Amino acid sequence: MRIGLVPTMGALHEGHLSLVSLALGEADRVVVSIFVNPSQFGPGEDLASYPDTFDEDLMKLKEAGVHCVFFPSVDEIYPNGFSTSVNVSGLTETLCGKYRQGHFNGVSTVCAVLFGIAQPDIAVFGRKDAQQLAVIRRMAADLGLGVEIHAGEIIRESDGLAMSSRNLYLSPGERAQASVIFRGLSKAAELVLKGERVVERICYSVREIIEEAPLAAVQYLELVDPNTMKPVTKLTTPALLAVAVYFGHTRLIDNVILKP
Give the Cα separation of 11 and 167 in Å (integer). Answer: 10
- How far separated are the first and last CA of the chain, in Å rounded? 41
Give the Cα separation of 187 and 192 in Å (integer). Answer: 9
- Residue 129's nearest CA partner among 253, 236, 212 is 253
- Residue 149's nearest CA partner among 127, 120, 170, 122 is 122
Got the DSSP string for 115-145? HHHH--SEEEEETTSHHHHHHHHHHHHHTT-
H or E segment to which residue 5 belongs: strand 3-8
Q: Is 103 marked active-site?
A: no
Please pick, among 13, 16, 103, 249, the residue that the annotation labels catalytic. 16
Say if CB 219 and CB 251 are below 8 A apart.
yes
Say if CB 3 and CB 40 are below 8 A apart.
no
Q: For every residue of 149-213, which 3-state class applies, written as one string?
A: EEEECCCECCCCCECCHHHHHCCHHHHHHCCHHHHHHHHHHHHHHCCCCEHHHHHHHHHHHHCCC
Catalytic amino acids?
16
